[in-house]
Amino acid sequence: MEVMTSTFERADGRATDQLRSVRITRGFTSNPAGSVLVEFGNTRVMCTASVELGVPRFKRDSGEGWLTAEYSMLPAATHERMPRESMRGKVKGRTHEISRLIGRSLRAAVDLSQLGENTINIDCDVLQADGGTRTAAITGAYVALADAVSVLKSRGVVPGSPLLPPVAAVSVGLIDGRVCLDLPYEEDSRAEVDMNVIMTEAGKFVEIQGTGEQGDFGREELGEMLDLAEKGCRELIAAQKAALGV
Amino acid sequence: MEVMTSTFERADGRATDQLRSVRITRGFTSNPAGSVLVEFGNTRVMCTASVELGVPRFKRDSGEGWLTAEYSMLPAATHERMPRESMRGKVKGRTHEISRLIGRSLRAAVDLSQLGENTINIDCDVLQADGGTRTAAITGAYVALADAVSVLKSRGVVPGSPLLPPVAAVSVGLIDGRVCLDLPYEEDSRAEVDMNVIMTEAGKFVEIQGTGEQGDFGREELGEMLDLAEKGCRELIAAQKAALGV
Amino acid sequence: MEVMTSTFERADGRATDQLRSVRITRGFTSNPAGSVLVEFGNTRVMCTASVELGVPRFKRDSGEGWLTAEYSMLPAATHERMPRESMRGKVKGRTHEISRLIGRSLRAAVDLSQLGENTINIDCDVLQADGGTRTAAITGAYVALADAVSVLKSRGVVPGSPLLPPVAAVSVGLIDGRVCLDLPYEEDSRAEVDMNVIMTEAGKFVEIQGTGEQGDFGREELGEMLDLAEKGCRELIAAQKAALGV
Amino acid sequence: MEVMTSTFERADGRATDQLRSVRITRGFTSNPAGSVLVEFGNTRVMCTASVELGVPRFKRDSGEGWLTAEYSMLPAATHERMPRESMRGKVKGRTHEISRLIGRSLRAAVDLSQLGENTINIDCDVLQADGGTRTAAITGAYVALADAVSVLKSRGVVPGSPLLPPVAAVSVGLIDGRVCLDLPYEEDSRAEVDMNVIMTEAGKFVEIQGTGEQGDFGREELGEMLDLAEKGCRELIAAQKAALGV
Amino acid sequence: MEVMTSTFERADGRATDQLRSVRITRGFTSNPAGSVLVEFGNTRVMCTASVELGVPRFKRDSGEGWLTAEYSMLPAATHERMPRESMRGKVKGRTHEISRLIGRSLRAAVDLSQLGENTINIDCDVLQADGGTRTAAITGAYVALADAVSVLKSRGVVPGSPLLPPVAAVSVGLIDGRVCLDLPYEEDSRAEVDMNVIMTEAGKFVEIQGTGEQGDFGREELGEMLDLAEKGCRELIAAQKAALGV
Amino acid sequence: MEVMTSTFERADGRATDQLRSVRITRGFTSNPAGSVLVEFGNTRVMCTASVELGVPRFKRDSGEGWLTAEYSMLPAATHERMPRESMRGKVKGRTHEISRLIGRSLRAAVDLSQLGENTINIDCDVLQADGGTRTAAITGAYVALADAVSVLKSRGVVPGSPLLPPVAAVSVGLIDGRVCLDLPYEEDSRAEVDMNVIMTEAGKFVEIQGTGEQGDFGREELGEMLDLAEKGCRELIAAQKAALGV
């Protein structure tokens, strides 16, 4: 194992358990209630939280609010330009899948019963993609959500305290048999196993999704990946709190 | 804990670690190369594997084959009839998400390099839904795939041996604080945590997806869920092999 | 003509005026109010009737109910797999045409004024196609409709007696100059003339559609086709009544 | 019966076996190879036949041509304006159904093997609708087709003689128990039975579609309707030939 | 310049400042409140104005009416047949662009505050295209609008006098360095600059759109083009008034 | 008039002939060949130019290249969040209209015959909208285009010198009877007349679009608006050149 440690090198020189440099910029744009630019290395996602009066039909007269999310890549975000989904007239399965994941993850960070019958729309638009866009999106969206909740409270719309403690997300994966944290595109595309972990500040899982893209994985490898993910999420939560000044 | 054990009862009287009754019927229809009806209790899914010459553009001239999957619910499969996606003109995110999961899972059961430049289309159409449709679909689709590969080989289209050992899938979840195996709709809709586990015969994970729908979960609960899922998958793989007579 | 009779042989050995074996299975699935599997030889269609409170806008406040129908082929129902319409984003003209035919035919079997402001949704999903899918669908859907009406009445939702006597449907055609009943795919695809006849128990036509696919036809041939169709429909209505135990 | 004859009156004063006034204007527009305005009373349809080199994939290398048709209503053609299908993003089932009927009917008037690998596109756009739009469309489209074939022949594109003798179409129906020819909207919308008959010059049927919209019909009524339809089609074919000067 | 004048010749022999022959036919069809066939040379557009009770959501309870417009080309209107937008499932950008232009232009001819909460739908369907379809459409639609407003007033639906003085539209362009009025397709497709001008009877601009398709243009050329456009619009307004008998 | 001058004040304190502060940031993202963030006051648009081998069908074998453009607003760019077009399944007319305008404008800045058979895709995604998004997009896209052409040349793909001198765009309008330059949203939404002017470095027009949204305008007002637009465009071209260091 030691030999392996010494010879294994990540393309960007990071240690296997090291996050890329993380930047969270609040107030990135001014129209939405919350607007954040989050950067995990070269991955850059604009995350906004917009507030709308009323709730979808299935929540009407429940006294509760709702939170929903949409994820999208700008066409020139990737190395090769990708066709714009609005022009194709169809949203890709991958986009739907990630939008749903972000929605579930952020609903774990909000107490809908404290929100009143309001809807929060999270939008995560990837300006530049270099792996980990969904985990960056979740991490940044929490901060946008926190800002939006403050706006709601300051407007007197929200009676209670809907914001729950932070939720953050990170990817881990198995590269050449080594467990690595926070994969950039180059690693992600050749990883044997790719896992996204969404965690609360209390260290509990909101969601885990692990996929053996080019192989399968056992309980032991799963354990190692979760250890790394936990470390990564704790650091990301610290960054979220620093950004929020709490 | 003992007290809890004695009072906890599943609506259908099963033990917490017990699968619903599983039935796998080969040759359910006769046009596709493989056609299977799989039943997990009241959940019934028709799984077919159709073979097509040629591969999608991104695989052309690779010498390899491809496998893709589509999942759909018949409109009257659920308790309340749901609008037909073809009439709405849009496929729902949930449908895309499950189609992609089935595709990834089944690709773990086939060696594409042994398939020649052929494409296998997996179709999983839910005739009756009572929870666990995606796990039933994956489990049944493996058997349809095995039959389709036999057809390909008997036609002399496939030079190698593309079929890999079985892959099966099962759901586990946390209901009222108890870890339960193979959730029907009634349990699934109120589970605190819901997890789908796809496993190989060797006991390795192909994919795990765990979601805290109404809460989060720790490492210990994760471990318990995986234990149960592993037991369930082993039994499902036995059922697959029995159905295939291997 | 006699010589012709002695030499003409249908691929499946039937007499020209003979139906394929017909099977009608009630209670095929359990969620919809009525659920029937109908088989005309190798053609198998799942027909369901689901009940919904309320009526479409154009029937609102009319005091009457409504019945509508949707037909679809599963992608692997045919010899060569066909693309799924939901994924193409468009419903084919053929599908629309058949859905509309089924709706008109079944509305002839229900007294909408006795239904209250309820809607019955008929879904006919072809599991396996071997010609005559629309006629099998209509024949099976009547039985599903009858079961759904019973459910409505037992729930006390329906004041009157909306179910009218049976309606059944069969195809006839001209093959090599011979009039034949109930065409399988092999005959249907090479028939000179193809006709679908929908008839009531009283022997009246609800709809007739005759098409000279590869030629035209005169009054005499029409008469012969209708004679055969009438014979076929009478037998199908007997099968419907036997299935319903009336 | 005599009493009935004396009291029954059609809103426009026609005899029951009388066509509305028919007008066929060739060269209505100048870009397509054939362009005809056909009028059945107040129903006005612009029918064009455009020629395109090549054939659809399923006809390629067959040495044969193809003919396809599209029908559409302008939004203001009907009494109440109807939403434009292009703006709704969906073509209605009725539109598909009629387009397919026109295509089948006109293919009965052309010998595809004499056409070379060329495609004729028939477009029937309803400028004003007052019942019988599909029968007017078929009747007018034959004339446009004849003109287009002449153009093809004069350009030397077509080796043989693809044009077959005329095909015309008319509606008949049962109104208040009386069989009537060529129904305007007012009659069509309250007819007990509505039938469209497409016939060749030789008096053979290309297609018949009879629907008991508000009731059913027996063999005798069918016979009466076909008698009237045959009379109508003969007169329409005379009009087609007069328009074409043959 | 004189030499140029003597040698420059338009394909149809017109002077550079001369409109094509203009024909405006009222009552072209009878179902819509206003229906006009407008012809600018070979360009022929059917313009209708249909009246609907109520207004779109954004105008509700404003006490004002609304006017909206849709433009479309019949598939065989152009020299080469173009695919029908309803069948493609998508409306082209050009179609949207022109529909919006027509709507804006006609709203300049109606006082919405005098209309009551009614909506006027303008439909402009091009039967034959030879350049200038959008300007012909606007010019004809004003006449259809005038007729529709008369219908509204005669029905007593409209309290005030919503119709404003005429608005007309014409194209001008730079062809081989010469400013020309009312371009047919042949000129339009090779013009260096193409400009559409919409003008009121008072000689004020409602909209001007000038595009350097194959080059750019200066203030002087702009002035010349506007001079010609003004002349053209004045003549078109005279034609509108003559058609309306005012 | 003098009195008016002294009392008229723009909400942001600018002189009527003054641009908002303009910022052009090159290299805003790193994947596309050219990537620029352009800011006109609070309006912020990300403009990218991506290069693709090959040209669309209508340009194939012409030896020339092509340039096309797509414009889109992020959902949270506006004051009230707008639904995402990809999720609606339809692109709005306004989006199409602006995409086409950007494409035409940028094609005036590139000599397609010098580009080889390559396609440049311009994407303009509005991150924050405060009026003038289309003019900012065109102005920024020229800079992205210039960078992309440099990349092409450095890769040796382009034989000639396709980049033409700068093209810039600005809006002008009539607010309370005063001609103003570069309208923010607040002015744009209540302007009597709104005009977009696209101009070359030589002071020639590429496109002008003037619309009397709430009124019409005469030749004199047009002249004043063009004077202001010319001043604005000259300043924007200076900013483009400064950004490019030329």
The pLDDT score that the predictor gives to residue E6 is 47
* Alpha-carbon gap, residue C171 to A2, rounded angstroms: 77
For residue F24, count other CB atoms closer than 10 A to its CB: 23
* Alpha-carbon gap, residue B40 to D74, rounded angstroms: 52
Q: Which residues contact A6 (CB under 8 A, 6 or more apart)?
A: none
Region A110-117 average pLDDT: 93
Q: Which residues pair with F195 in a beta bridge?
A: F172, F210
The pLDDT score that the predictor gives to residue E7 is 61
- Greatest pairwise CA separation for chain C in angstroms: 63
The pLDDT score that the predictor gives to residue F156 is 87
Mutate to test the interface with C, among B95, B119, B125 (most CBs of C within 10 A): B125
Q: From the CA of B99, how many Å to the nearest CA of chain A? A: 9
The pLDDT score that the predictor gives to residue E2 is 39
The per-residue pLDDT for range B35-54, each reduced to its tens digit, is 999 999 999 999 999 999 89
Closest chain B residue by Cα to residue C30 = B128
The per-residue pLDDT for range A153-184, each reduced to its tens digit, is 998 888 789 999 999 999 999 999 999 999 99
- Asked if D127's CB is within 8 angstroms of E75's CB, the reply is no
Interfacial F residues in 103-132 facing E (CB < 8 Å): 104, 108
Region B27-37 average pLDDT: 97
Check the annotation: does F25 bind a ligand. Answer: no
Please report which confidence band the pLDDT of residue D158 belongs to, taking 50, 70 and 90 as the band edges.
Answer: confident
* Alpha-carbon gap, residue F188 to C11, rounded angstroms: 75
Closest chain A residue by Cα to residue F119 = A81
- Asked if A209's CB is within 8 angstroms of B205's CB, the reply is no
By the 10 Å C-beta count (0-12 exposed, 13-18 middle, 19+ buried), E106 is classed as buried
Region B154-178 average pLDDT: 92
Q: For residue E94, which of F207, F101, D83 has the smallest C-alpha distance? A: F101
Report whether pLDDT(C52) > 60: yes
- Asked if C205's CB is within 8 angstroms of D222's CB, the reply is yes
Share of chain F above pLDDT 70, in %: 97
**CA angle, residues D33, D34, D35, in degrees to nearest 5:** 125
Domain covering F22-244 in this structure, CATH number: 3.30.230.70
Q: Are C47 and C211 in contact (CB under 8 A)?
A: no
Q: Are F75 and A70 in contact (CB under 8 A)?
A: yes
Q: Which residues contact C13 (CB under 8 A, 6 or more apart)?
A: none
Q: In which element (H, E) is residue C46 found?
A: strand C43-53
Report whether pLDDT(A199) > 50: yes
Of C29, C91, C127, the CB nearest to B87: C91
Share of chain D above pLDDT 70, in %: 97
Q: From the CA of B221, how many Å to the nearest CA of chain C? A: 34
Report whether pLDDT(F1) > 60: no
Check the annotation: does A94 bind a ligand. Answer: yes
- Asked if D79's CB is within 8 angstroms of E31's CB, the reply is yes
Q: From the CA of A135, how many Å to the nearest CA of chain F? A: 20
Q: Which residues contact F168 (CB under 8 A, 6 or more apart)?
A: F138, F139, F142, F198, F199, F233, F236, F237, F240
Tokens 């909207």 belong to D185
Instruction: Give yes or no for A60 touching B (CB within 8 A).
Output: no
The per-residue pLDDT for range A201-216, each reduced to its tens digit, is 999 999 999 999 788 9
Closest chain A residue by Cα to residue B104 = A213
The pLDDT score that the predictor gives to residue D7 is 61
CA distances from A129 to A46, A195, C226, E37 (A): 11, 18, 66, 54
Check the annotation: does E60 bind a ligand. Answer: no
Closest chain A residue by Cα to residue B70 = A93
Q: For residue C48, which of A17, B81, F195 has the smallest C-alpha distance? A: B81
| Distance from the first to the final alpha carbon of chain D | 41
Q: For residue A229, which of A164, A166, A135 has the smallest C-alpha distance? A: A135
The alpha carbon of B197 is separated from its chain's Cα centroid by a whole number of angstroms, namely 9
Q: What is the DSSP letter of F54?
A: S
The per-residue pLDDT for range B94-138, each reduced to its tens digit, is 999 999 999 999 999 999 999 999 999 999 999 999 999 999 999
Helix H segments across chain D?
Answer: 2-7, 85-88, 93-107, 133-154, 185-188, 219-244
* Alpha-carbon gap, residue D22 to D238, rounded angstroms: 11
ipTM of predicted assembly, 2 dp: 0.93
Instruction: Give yes or no for F218 touching E (CB within 8 A).
Output: yes
Tokens 């008929």 belong to C122
Of F50, F78, F127, the CB nearest to A81: F50
Mutate to test the interface with C, among D101, D219, D226 (most CBs of C within 10 A): D219
Of D48, D76, D128, the CB nearest to E50: D76
Of F70, F75, F84, the CB nearest to A87: F70
Q: Are E205 and E197 in contact (CB under 8 A)?
A: yes
Tokens representing E54 are 């109520």
Walk across the sheet containing E205-211 and list its strands: E178-181, E167-175, E193-200, E205-211, F205-211, F193-200, F167-175, F178-181
Region D132-140 average pLDDT: 98
C-alpha torsion F240→F241→F242→F244, nearest 10: 90
Please report which confidence band the pLDDT of residue F7 belongs to, taking 50, 70 and 90 as the band edges.
Answer: low
* Alpha-carbon gap, residue B1 to F102, rounded angstroms: 69
The per-residue pLDDT for range E82-138, each reduced to its tens digit, is 999 988 888 888 999 999 999 999 999 999 999 999 999 999 999 999 999 999 999
| φ, ψ for residue B206, nearest 5 deg | -90, -40
- Asked if A204's CB is within 8 angstroms of B207's CB, the reply is no
Check the annotation: does F234 bind a ligand. Answer: no
- Asked if B97's CB is within 8 angstroms of A97's CB, the reply is yes
Q: Are D79 and D27 in contact (CB under 8 A)?
A: no
Closest chain B residue by Cα to residue A222 = B205
Share of chain E above pLDDT 70, in %: 97
In our burial notation (b when 16+ CB lie closer than 10 A, e otherwise), range B68-80 reads bbbbbbbbbbbee
**DSSP state string for B65-129:** -EEEEEEEE-TTSSSS----HHHHTS--HHHHHHHHHHHHHHHTTB-GGGS-SEEEEEEEEEEE-
Domain spans of chain F?
A: 22-244
| φ, ψ for residue D160, nearest 5 deg | -100, -150
Q: Are A22 and A39 in contact (CB under 8 A)?
A: yes
Region E48-59 average pLDDT: 93
The pLDDT score that the predictor gives to residue A91 is 87
Of A30, A78, A91, the CB nearest to F86: A91
The alpha carbon of F162 is separated from its chain's Cα centroid by a whole number of angstroms, namely 20
pTM confidence score: 0.91
Tokens representing A57 are 């039909």
What's the whole-number average pLDDT of chain E?
A: 93
Closest chain B residue by Cα to residue C87 = B91
Taking each helix axis from N to C end, the angle separating E133-154 and E219-244, rounded to the nearest 10 degrees, works out to 40
For residue A153, count other CB atoms closer than 10 A to its CB: 15
Of C52, C76, C121, the CB nearest to B32: C76
Of E92, E97, E208, the CB nearest to F208: E208
For residue C1, count other CB atoms closer than 10 A to its CB: 7
What's the whole-number average pLDDT of chain D?
A: 93
* Alpha-carbon gap, residue B75 to F75, rounded angstroms: 32
**CA angle, residues C123, C127, C130, in degrees to nearest 5:** 115
Report whether pLDDT(B143) > 60: yes
The per-residue pLDDT for range D91-125, each reduced to its tens digit, is 888 999 999 999 999 999 999 999 999 999 999 99
Taking each helix axis from N to C end, the angle separating D133-154 and D219-244, rounded to the nearest 10 degrees, works out to 40
Mutate to test the interface with C, among D91, D113, D196, D206 (most CBs of C within 10 A): D206
| φ, ψ for residue C129, nearest 5 deg | -115, 125
The per-residue pLDDT for range C142-173, each reduced to its tens digit, is 999 999 999 989 988 887 899 999 999 999 99
Mutate to test the interface with E, among F172, F206, F226, F230 (most CBs of E within 10 A): F206
